Amino acid sequence: MKVQQRWERWEAIGAAALFVVFDEPAVIRHTMLDGIDVDAMPFDVVVDRRREVYDRWGLTRARHRDIWLDPNVYKVYWRLLRAGAKLRAGGSDVLQLGGDFIVDHHGEIAYSRPQRRDDRPPTGELLRAAAGTTRRDR
Amino acid sequence: MPTAPTPGDRAPVLALPTLDDRTVDLAELRGRPVLVSFLRHAG
């Protein structure tokens, strides 16, 4: 599914999005955004080279065993390889964890899911959380 | 190190450059729900 098609579900509820990365822009463009028209993306990708914002949002680094002994990591790689994706280097710090948050209209956190290992919430869960902030404001 | 914000907390400050070096401030997006997704790595 193309990024634009996925994004239509977010636009339907009037949501914005920010994706935060920490590697150099050139690395990002040639890895996770490879083949994507960055100028046509309906959301921004912002770069936190020193990871100060990751720290401010309480995002920690995993232990090696949390990543490399996690069967889900290998399931994801297997799925990607079966879909024809190329294996790439993992960026400058494979232990840095991320997280997903929904911020409501007033600038308050409505949903918080910092990663503890290499897991992410389903898109549907995030969409429901974002839509819930709209309903609360009515 | 701070702990991750939980529902009801004010969102911590987030103002960073984009890939093409524009600055985006989360505070400027107030008025609509915002997904803030911190990615784990670039691979």
**pLDDT tens profile B4-16:** 999 999 999 999 9
CA distances from A121 to A27, A63, A110, B37 (A): 25, 20, 15, 11
Residues of A in contact with B42 (CB under 8 A): 21, 23, 27-28, 31-32, 88, 90-92
Q: What is the Cα–Cα distance from A58 to B34, expressed in whole angstroms?
A: 18
Q: Which range, A21-25, A81-85, A88-92, B5-9, is most confident?
A: B5-9
Cβ atoms of A119 and A72 closer than 8 Å: yes
Q: Say yes or no to pLDDT of A84 above 80.
A: no
Check CB contact under 8 Å for B32 and A100: no
Which of B26, B33, B37 minimises the CB distance to A105? B33
Q: Considering the entire predicted model, what is its pTM?
A: 0.84
Check CB contact under 8 Å for A109 and B6: yes
Q: Say yes or no to pLDDT of B27 above 70.
A: yes
Residues of B in contact with A58 (CB under 8 A): 1-5
Q: pLDDT-based confidence at A5, cuts 50/70/90?
A: low
Q: Say yes or no to pLDDT of A108 above 90.
A: yes
Q: 3-state DSSP call for residue A40? A: helix
Check CB contact under 8 Å for A108 and B1: no
SS (H, E, C) A86-136: CCCCCCCCCCECCEEEEECCCCEEEEEEECCCCCCCCHHHHHHHHHHHHHH
Check CB contact under 8 Å for B40 and A32: no
Contacts (Cβ under 8 Å, ≥6 apart) of A72: A117, A118, A119
The residue among A4, A67, A124, A100 whose CA lies nearest residue B39 is A100
Q: Say yes or no to pLDDT of B40 above 70.
A: yes
